[in-house]
């Protein structure tokens, strides 16, 4: 087998990632620039998804984004987006 293949997140996870990017701020964590979705922004997104009835897949989408290394937990809460 040749070069390793990186698995892409599901369509639902990519949609959630886009929503996260739209709300995130630029951040510098440990000298590395990231997009940071703060805890407050994460809660806002969660509430928006819940009100729209789209929160049923959010847990699986977060797991998918973590597994594919598109996001990591931020040290002060929320998420770091890669």
- The CATH number of the domain holding residue 40 is 1.10.10
- The answer to the question of residue 34 being in a domain is yes
Task: Kindly list the strands in the beta sheet with 79-81, ordered across the sheet, starting from the edge strand earlier in the chain.
Answer: 25-29, 32-37, 79-81, 71-73
- The answer to the question of residue 69 being in a domain is yes
- The answer to the question of residue 5 being in a domain is no
- Total domains present in the chain: 1
Contacts (Cβ under 8 Å, ≥6 apart) of 56: none
pTM of the model: 0.82
Q: Is the pLDDT of residue 35 over 70?
A: yes
pLDDT tens for residues 47-80? 999 998 888 888 899 999 999 999 999 988 999 9
Q: For residue 22, what are the domain limits?
A: 11-81
């Amino acid at each position: 087998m040749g070069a390793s293949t990186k698995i892409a997140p599901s369509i639902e996870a990519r949609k959630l990632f886009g929503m996260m990017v739209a709300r995130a701020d630029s951040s510098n964590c440990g000298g590395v620039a990231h997009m940071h979705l703060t805890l407050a922004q994460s809660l806002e997104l969660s509430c928006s998804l819940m009100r729209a009835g789209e929160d049923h897949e959010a847990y699986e989408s977060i797991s998918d984004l973590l597994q594919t290394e598109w996001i990591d937990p931020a040290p002060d809460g929320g998420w770091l987006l890669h």
